[in-house]
Amino acid sequence: MKGKTILCSFVLTALVLAAGSTAWAGANSSMGLIRGHFLQAQPTVREITHELGQQPETPEGTSWAPGMKKPGRALIYSAFIPGTGELYVGAEKRGIAFLAVEAAAWTWYFTQHSSGKNKEDEFKDFADDNWKEPAYLGWYGHWEDWYDARKGDNDPDFEKIFTHHLPPQIDDDYYEMIGKYDQFSYGWLGNPDEYLPGDFAPNDSLLGYDFTDQYTTRDICRGVDATATANRDKYMNMRDDANRLLKRATWGISAALFNHVISAVDAALAAKSYNKTFLQEAHHPQLRMEMDQYAGEVIPKLTLTQKF
């Protein structure tokens, strides 16, 4: 689960990078061509802006003044490390905030995951000490002998009565089964060493295909005593605690992913805003084309602004 979540985080971050870079490149290219064609058609404007000290734009790109910030670069910075794109464009408070959220998200993940793993080790140690496979197999063998002595030609084999069987190795499935399913109750310490199926056996009328009914399976296991039940209940509570902590750990990964995406978008917008303010405040002539109304008609209008 954890590996899939982290993989999804990297994939989504990569998609944000690709989409943001492509969109920004396309926007810059389109604006460059529009402005370039316009300036080519207005040589006098190019001469005026050059005389006033502004570098003219070309069809191949847009003008770039020293000190401006690249939105694409800011996006990439924050996509990898949230907050660094904001620091790049000078938005220190927002950058520190995103960095703090990132640190908090991963701190939460590692602390919860570590606690969950510790709890996992605890319930496994408890199971190793209190659930014994030989005890379970002894109970199983007694019932198998009892059943085989009574089953008819149309009755299913004893092993088909139960839906689960112990895996050949001790793994996560093993630790899940011994606590989750009634049929493994006799493996928990506290049950007697001798099993007398006839003392609490289901009626012979239950033999047949309906013997696999869930009620009948529980009926077979009703000889489990209180000590074994208490051990099993304690084990299941320990498992629940471990699983709850491990699940809570994934919240940190989700928060970190969300932080990467939001910070990347915010950094690109911050760079764009920075450049707009920079050009407005810089002592460079600003040339822009606007649409205006004159004599009842909409006509293009060039505005040249120079701050002194």
* DSSP letter (8 states) at residue 56: P
Same domain assignment for residues 133 and 175: yes
Same domain assignment for residues 244 and 119: yes
Cβ neighbors of 11 (< 8 A, separation 6 or more) are: none
Residue 187: give the domain boundaries.
115-248
Same domain assignment for residues 202 and 103: no
Same domain assignment for residues 154 and 237: yes
Tens-level pLDDT at each residue, the chain (308 residues): 444 554 455 445 555 445 555 544 444 444 444 344 434 444 444 444 444 444 444 333 455 678 899 999 999 999 999 999 999 999 999 999 999 999 999 999 999 999 999 999 999 999 999 999 988 888 788 778 877 887 777 878 877 777 788 888 999 999 999 998 888 888 888 765 544 444 444 444 333 334 444 334 444 555 556 667 788 899 999 999 999 999 999 999 999 999 999 999 999 999 999 998 887 776 656 667 777 777 778 788 777 666 65
Same domain assignment for residues 143 and 226: yes
Same domain assignment for residues 50 and 175: no
Same domain assignment for residues 106 and 121: no
Same domain assignment for residues 162 and 184: yes
On whether the CB atoms of residues 67 and 280 are closer than 8 A, the answer is: no
Domain boundary (212, 227, 248) is at 248
Same domain assignment for residues 72 and 134: no
Same domain assignment for residues 267 and 213: no
Domain boundary (208, 223, 248) is at 248
On whether the CB atoms of residues 30 and 39 are closer than 8 A, the answer is: no
Q: Retrieve residue 14's tokens.
A: 């990569």
How many folded domains does the chain comprise? Answer: 2
Q: Is the pTM of this model over 0.85?
A: no
Beta-strand (E) ranges in the chain? Answer: 286-294, 297-305
Q: Retrieve residue 52's tokens.
A: 């006033």
Q: Retrieve residue 88's tokens.
A: 């790049």
Domain boundary (248, 278, 293) is at 248
Tokens 């084999």 sit on residue: 157
Distance in angstroms (rounded) separating the CA atoms of residues 192 and 223: 10
Same domain assignment for residues 89 and 31: yes
Same domain assignment for residues 121 and 102: no
